[in-house]
Structure 1
């Protein structure tokens, strides 16, 4: 029976749940992983969270009005509608969805333990465990909290030029990018395909971008870089669907202020990966993203996998997140199958003249074999299941 469990502080959760695979997250990576796992009859449990990391279930796409670059939707699709469809597809194949945030995990040994924010006290043993865990908690774009930012978010303001730059409201219009690094330079040059002109606002007197990227940016005739300049306010049309029309700027050296025409504002000031949950347990890079083995979803802990923006600081697209969710599911399935086959193999009887292997020694040998396999995991081959 396909079902979804909604957990609130007023509704008590079931006493215990031991899952084959737990998926933590609610975006494209999480739901793609859940779809593949449920079709493999692994009965995954997906914890979508209740405003986890300040974001509604569905992830960053729920803050996007129109998604025009996800295959299968020639006319585009609303971000929330796209995520609703993914959620329904997860449920259709048997994923158990729990609307409660995982506040703590213990990944020191299997089965891994998961504490739920409302149902489990900090000093209590958690009711939920899993033999494998897929971390797909995403990353949040940094905001500047400018006056008018909330009103015009996705009505002129965006944190992803590749995602939103081609929509009609930005075409042949003056566009602004905030940031001085490689990401800001890349976004600005991408936007030159659509905007009438692109202005890059840099707080300091020089770019942080690499020399090659900075030279390309400065040489582009459709780009102007304004140094020592910050945005102080976003202005625009009134009404619930009013669009951004102007931007208030300030020179941080002279103090001079001005209002300029601006129909688009793109933040390129970085993202914060939602990795506080696993910090000090799995390996993270210097920016806080989960480190995975190249081309895989393997983390530093056998049985723990990462997918989506929580481990991808380069592309950050819905379609690439979905693809990495697929990879994580296939590798988690392979891991569980290998663990099960290892556990099911009976101890071989000693040959004539050999001493009997003591249980402790046999267990040690099995553990060494697991550690060797975990240290050198093979990239999972595509399942030979015709249903996939």
Structure 2
């Protein structure tokens, strides 16, 4: 059936292969008259519907006022819809408009019995693992596109996020680094004084802070400060449908939103770690000079004598790994945030928890490997 009285036209026909073809033509824009889905003359047998948009001249989002009822009618009749011939932007809009998750019934939740709960928990773990792998894979593709100059990322966004994850965090890193060095020196000096080996407090501070403690300390601070911020920002954008709007405009959120935050965290973490190392050594030096009675030169000579450059390299490498993990955890939780009012809070909490768990696992692996390889 075809309507000739309007500039927007829809014609339903059966092709040679038996598929039902709906041809959309004319101008489908807001304020222009359009045909109704109820006016279509459906054939008795229609297993599949294909949309033909070759004659579609102009359209805007108001075309969904026709396509959404069409999709619902096809669902009611059990007809599969082929969207391959739709313009890419229109196809994304229709997918978003029809992406409604049906509520699960009590019988579908598999909650009764131990086996059912284990099965449902295993399924959720597998789904979450698949989502994480997909996210990491898309991020790797975005990084490769950046290396070849094809990523849609603004340099200004990278500079802004680097500032948030860099110099704006110097105060809290300075405070925590100095105090942790101070506390570790005080605690280490207690048993060392029993054996008259107070001078090895410098060795304790140098090896402990440079090799591990500074990286972990900075990582925990940045997990609660910046990774949570990434999750909150992206989660708010997800709740407000800003990320969906970017997809509809053809802008990949992975390159435009996630990539600059991931790179900023990855680049800034080693620098913050080195800065934290310096402040923690200053804290240990304070204890050595004012509590243990060492001279500055004596403390420094013992530090250089017993501390290797490999200790610093291991700490910087660990912080670099932490930066990647924090960027992935924060951005993943934000991009997969729900759309209800409490979803942003849950995403922020999950970002901090997952970041710390990942750092602990990475610390254990790096420690074991460096010991086995005698680094």
TMscore range, shorter length: under 0.3
Structure with greater Cα Rg: 2
Q: Greater strand percent: which structure?
A: 1
Q: TM-score normalized by structure 2?
A: 0.23
Q: Greater helix percent: which structure?
A: 2
Q: TM-score normalized by structure 1?
A: 0.22
